[in-house]
C-alpha cells in the first residue's frame, strides 16, 4: 500500500476529494496532510475526516533535513492540492516523478508564478478563450513546467463569467484528479 502526503494551502476541497477517493483503496491511502497557511479551511476538513493536518512553514520546506526525512517515512507520493509554494529542488530529487500537481488551465497556457485560482480564470475570460481545462503534471524545478500526465478540456461560452469558468474547472478537478493519481501510483 502506497502512502500519499497531500500539500494544501487553501480550503482543501481537492484534498478532501482525494482523501475520500483513497479511503477504501487497495493501492494507496493519504497518510497525512500538510498546510502552510494557519487559517486555511483544510484544517476543518481534515478534522471532520479524521485525518492529520500539520502546519508547516517555508523554512521547514526549504531547509529542514528533519522535515525531509519525515516525508521520506510518510510518503511514497506527494500530491499538491491547491498548494502555492514552489517545491524545492532537494524535495524533487528525493521524490523524482512522485510529486503530482494539478493546474487550473491547459498548460503551457496560463502557467507560472502567480497563475493560480481566480487569476487563471480571470485571464482566460479576458483573453476570450473558447476552451480551458485542467492539467495534471509532475513537479519539476520550474512552476507548471513538469511532464504532463493528463489534461481535460471544457468549453468556455461567451456568457461564462470567471466564476462560471472556475466552477467548470472544479468539476473537472473533482472528476479526474484522484483517478489520475491512482493511475500514476498503479504504474
Q: What is the DSSP string of 90-127?
A: HHHHHSTT-EEEEESS-TTTT-STT--HHHHHHHHHHT
Q: Is 73 exposed, middle or buried (0-12, 13-18, 19+ CB in 10 A)?
A: exposed
Helix (H, G, I), strand (E, B) or coil at 184: helix
Mean pLDDT along residues 150-165: 97
- Please say whether the beta carbons of 97 and 147 come within 8 A: yes
The CB density around residue 171, as the number of other CB atoms within 10 Å, is 13
Q: Helices then strands (H, E): number in the chain?
A: 7, 7
- To the nearest 10 degrees (0 to 180), the angle between helices 162-186 and 117-126 is 120
Mean pLDDT along residues 101-123: 95
Query: How many residues does the structure list for the chain?
Result: 187
Given pLDDT bands bounded at 50, 70 and 90, which one contains residue 62?
confident
How many percent of the chain have pLDDT more than 70?
Answer: 100
Grid coordinates in use for 112?
507560472
- C-alpha distances (whole Å) from 65 to each of 22, 89, 158 are 29, 13, 50
Structure confidence at residue 161 (pLDDT): 97
Structure confidence at residue 110 (pLDDT): 97
Looking from the CA of 105 toward its CB, the CA atoms found within 13 Å total 23
Helix (H, G, I), strand (E, B) or coil at 185: helix
Average pLDDT in the chain: 95
pTM of the model: 0.95
Mean pLDDT along residues 124-146: 96
CA separation for the pair 62, 90 (Å, rounded)? 8
At residue 30, φ and ψ (nearest 5 deg) are -85, 115
Q: In order of start, what are the domains of the chain with their CATH numbers?
A: 2-186 (3.40.50.170)
Structure confidence at residue 5 (pLDDT): 97
Q: Could you tell me which residue, 187 or 25, shows the higher pLDDT?
A: 25
Catalytic positions, please?
103
Amino acid at each position: 500500500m502506497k502512502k500519499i502526503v497531500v500539500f494544501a494551502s487553501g480550503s482543501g476541497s481537492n484534498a478532501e476529494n482525494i482523501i475520500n477517493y483513497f479511503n477504501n483503496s487497495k493501492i494507496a491511502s493519504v497518510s497525512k496532510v500538510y498546510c502552510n497557511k494557519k487559517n486555511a479551511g483544510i484544517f476543518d476538513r481534515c478534522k471532520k475526516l479524521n485525518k492529520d493536518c500539520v502546519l508547516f512553514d517555508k523554512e521547514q520546506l526549504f531547509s529542514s533535513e528533519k522535515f525531509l526525512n519525515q516525508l521520506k517515512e510518510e510518503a511514497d507520493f506527494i500530491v499538491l492540492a491547491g498548494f502555492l509554494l514552489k517545491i524545492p529542488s532537494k524535495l524533487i530529487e528525493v521524490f523524482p516523478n512522485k510529486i503530482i500537481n494539478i493546474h487550473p488551465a491547459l498548460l503551457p497556457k496560463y502557467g507560472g508564478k502567480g497563475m493560480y485560482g481566480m487569476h487563471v480564470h480571470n485571464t482566460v475570460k479576458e483573453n476570450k478563450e473558447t476552451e480551458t481545462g485542467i492539467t495534471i503534471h509532475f513537479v519539476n524545478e520550474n512552476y507548471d513546467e513538469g511532464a504532463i500526465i493528463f489534461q481535460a478540456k471544457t468549453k468556455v461560452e461567451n456568457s461564462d463569467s470567471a466564476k462560471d469558468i472556475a466552477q467548470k474547472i472544479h468539476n473537472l478537478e473533482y472528476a479526474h484528479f484522484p483517478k489520475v493519481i491512482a493511475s500514476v501510483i498503479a504504474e
